[in-house]
Structure 1
């Protein structure tokens, strides 16, 4: 009743009256609804609040970097030095090993043959040194300094050679001594002849004087005088000849003495020269033997550290391996783990050590199992290509660079090392340890900006780049 009276007082028709009017009149006579006006006001207020929030509100700028979990001490590769044939395999994938434990044995036959050949050459050089020293010391009864493990047959052979060498030298010296004794005897004979002539000359001179005196006075025959004089002159010439022979004999003796000294000097010089050559050869062979022993020892591939064997690449005895081929990987058992993330060129300018990061482990859905937290430890000073393997000390093999979180063909990236706050995750009320090789996504907070800036950035970029194309 009250609403009807108010309608009559204001001249407005009630809802029931409007209902009996024709449709066109009903629309005309019906006053506008306040709900639409209220909705428009609310939408305008909401728009103003959104603009204010977009201008004042801040959101984080996050650099997303794919990566994977790696040991803090890096995995250790087991590689052969040279081509070889597998002789024995002593481990299997997942086996725990100790440092120095033999993992794989290669056939050492060729290396051992080369090593034995070098050892034989070294022993021969050492025996040459011992024989030469014994020859220099004139000791033909034993080899001075021969190795203790030398076979007796070799010792005897070198002793016989030493004695033959010494006998040859002694024979040469004996021949020179014999010639010298002969020449000395000749000098003595000549000396005796000279002494005899010198003793007869005064007597013969006296006889010539007597014969001359008698002949001058015609008491004696002049012919006898001339004969005596001829004999005197002959003896005087003989003494000159004998003295010349004596000089020749003395010179021959001196030459033989000098020849003997020269022969001894040349013999010792030759021995010293042989000793120097043998010593030099032995030193070189010792180095070669050490290298050959090292190569032979490397035919037994041992674990470099305590850890777990992974990625065993050989399973066939008799198989051939190539130099630097990765046969197995040893993951340190007591090493902490960290994350190796690949930061793109677009984000590297804002990433630096000390920044906080959130880590999503690909195998564990972060919406169910949560996130890991960490910090940037270091960033590589130079970029590396995603399309090529990185340092082999960091990558077990080339396949490791093709993880799902490391897409190829995206240009060079920078390597960031990220520490993590824990090494286990709770999955279905069980603690699961994180293991090297698990792929992750690292989200690094590099800054903040307003929502308005984020929304307007495509427009600003388009405005900057538009209408400039050729």
Structure 2
């Protein structure tokens, strides 16, 4: 794992401060030896052919040392110095490696059924290009079609009931035969039956009201006759009483017999009783007339209330039936799975006519045409602390070995704020990597990148000096040595 840059620089400076004095000491010793050898010199210089005739021991002593060894030593020292300077100045990239795959940045569109069904037709294949709105898969609509028909019939019945009730209300007000307005979706037989039913109800109601009014008229006539009798009795009764009083006076004077007086008294009593009876009967007739008038008003009000209740219930039923019909039509439409966007069909999962699909089952995926490409990478948990949006990255496609085809530049666009569980990698952070190119050169041709290509993303998190790579293990061993657990 990368270490803090400040700590690494401190470690490097400490090591350089420790080794540079020693190197300067060895340099001074070598320089002093070289100066001493030059000062000693060799007063007797022999030619090479002269040295060859000397004895072997003298030949070895007189033969000067080969400059190759000394040159090799200086070359090695120079190379070591160059390597040391390069390791101190040179830097290497520290990368975080993440696995990923090429995906459309518009996200693929997954086609799913809303509810369970039976596959009726499969109209596309993998790799086929489709346009927006094109039919993809058809599910058997038999059941939902029956529901649509049932709800439509219920809606038509509710509308006919509304029109019938309204026609009866208008007919009652105008006292004429009702005319039921036509409903567009109703059959002729259904419309005709509704009209007949409305006429029958209206005539039945009118017949009932007419009968009640006829009875009322009879009672009114009886009341009028009774009132005439009462008036006649009220006019003749005073005369009958006066006649009785006259006979009573004559009886007292013995001018008339007693039975004649009793006849007049009896006539008066009968007339009074008849008057009382007619008055009582008149009151009964008045009560009956009022009751019959109430019955007529009740019949009219009841008929109107029945039609208003039927109208209200039918309107409520119509609202429910319209909602059901819309819902079932939506379900019927959803048995025809269509493309939400233009693109390419991938991952077709339905292959059997008559096969059963479940709700939300992924049947196929459409990759949009106008969607750019990006890398969907999984950053390991141990690297997430060093990865930031905006960092550069190199993308190596598994389909094109980078040693032969090279890499594709990229840039970190976004990183998830929460980790997700991966079955193989454990907790990882999804990240989106922008592609610097959507093609790669293979055998002299531009090959278009395709969604689903696996890749390895190397995200450049920082840079480290080369000497830090070399000295870090030593410092680690030094730090961990001679310690007890």
TM-score of the pair, normalised by structure 2: 0.80
The aligned counterpart of 1:83 is 116
Match of 2:170 in 1: 137
**Pair 1:259-2:295 in alignment:** yes
Matches within 5 A, 1:118-133: 118-133=151-166
Aligned 1:59-458 pairs, distance under 5 A: 59-138=92-171, 140-144=177-181, 146-387=182-423, 408=424, 410-455=425-470, 457=472
Pair 1:135–1:460, CA change in 2 (3 A)? farther
C-alpha separation between the residues in 1 aligned to 2:405 and 2:193? 82
**Number of residues of Structure 1 aligned to a counterpart in Structure 2:** 434
Q: Shift of residue 363 of structure 1? A: 0.7
- Once residues 460 and 166 of structure 1 are traced to their aligned partners in structure 2, the CA distance between those partners, rounded to angstroms, is 109
In structure 1, distance between residues paired with 2:149 and 2:478: 80
Closer/same/farther in 2, CA of residues 462 and 280 from structure 1, 3 Å limit: farther
> Aligned to 1:225, what secondary structure does the other structure show?
helix
Q: Distance in 2 between matches of 1:199 and 1:33?
A: 182
* Secondary structure of 1:335's aligned partner: coil
Deviations 1:128-174 (Å, cap 9, x if unpaired)? 11111111112644313x31231111112212222232233223323
Q: 1:290 to 1:461 in 2, by over 3 A?
A: farther
Change over 3 Å in CA distance of 1:177–1:457 after alignment to 2: farther
When residues 241 and 319 of structure 1 are mapped into structure 2, their CA distance, relative to the original with a 3 A threshold, is same
Deviations 1:314-340 (A, max 9, x none): 222222222222222111123211111
Compared CA separation, residues 277 and 440, structure 1 to 2 (3 A): same
Query: What CA deviation, in whole Å up to 9, does each residue of 1:263-298 have, x standing for no partner?
Result: 222221221111111111111111111111111111
Higher mean displacement: 133-142 or 215-224:
133-142
Contact kept, 8 Å, 1:373 with 1:420, in 2: the verdict is yes
Question: CA separation in 1, counterparts of 2:483 and 2:256?
Answer: 157
Query: C-alpha displacement at 1:244, in angstroms?
Result: 2.3
Partner SS state of residue 86, structure 1: strand
Q: Which runs of 5+ in 1 are unaligned?
A: 8-13, 21-25, 388-407
- Give the Cα separation in 2 of the matches to 1:469 and 1:259: 113
Deviation, 1:77, is 1.4
Shift of 1:237: 3.1
Structure-2 separation of matches of 1:322 and 1:38:
83
Asked whether the equivalents of residues 178 and 198 of structure 2 are also in contact (C-alpha less than 8 Å), the reply is no
Mapped partners of 2:375, 2:54: distance in 1: 74
- Identify if the C-alpha distance between structure 1 residues 468 and 83 changes in structure 2 by more than 3 Å, giving closer, same or farther: farther
Q: Are the structure 2 counterparts of residues 313 and 140 from structure 1 closer, same or farther at C-alpha, using a change threshold of 3 Å?
A: farther
Map Cα deviations across residues 18-51 of structure 1 (whole Å, 9 max, x no partner): 599xxxxx9xxxx999999998888788667666
- Listed one character per residue, the Cα deviations across residues 76-131 of structure 1 (whole Å, up to 9, x for unaligned) are 11221222222222222221111111111111111111111111111111111111
Deviations 1:230-288 (A, max 9, x none): 32133223222322221221122112112221222222122111111111111111111
Deviates more, 1:213-222 or 1:307-316: 307-316
Is 2:113–2:359's contact at 8 Å kept on the other side of the alignment? yes
Contact kept in structure 2, 1:136 and 1:271, CA below 8 Å: yes
Displacement after TM superposition at 1:203 (Å): 2.4
CA contact (8 A) 2:168 2:178 kept: no
Per the TM alignment, residue 357 of structure 1 is displaced from its structure 2 partner at its CA by 1.4
**Aligned residues of 1:356 and 1:445 also touching (Cα < 8 A):** yes
Q: TM-score by structure 1 length?
A: 0.83
Secondary structure class of the residue paired with 2:97: strand
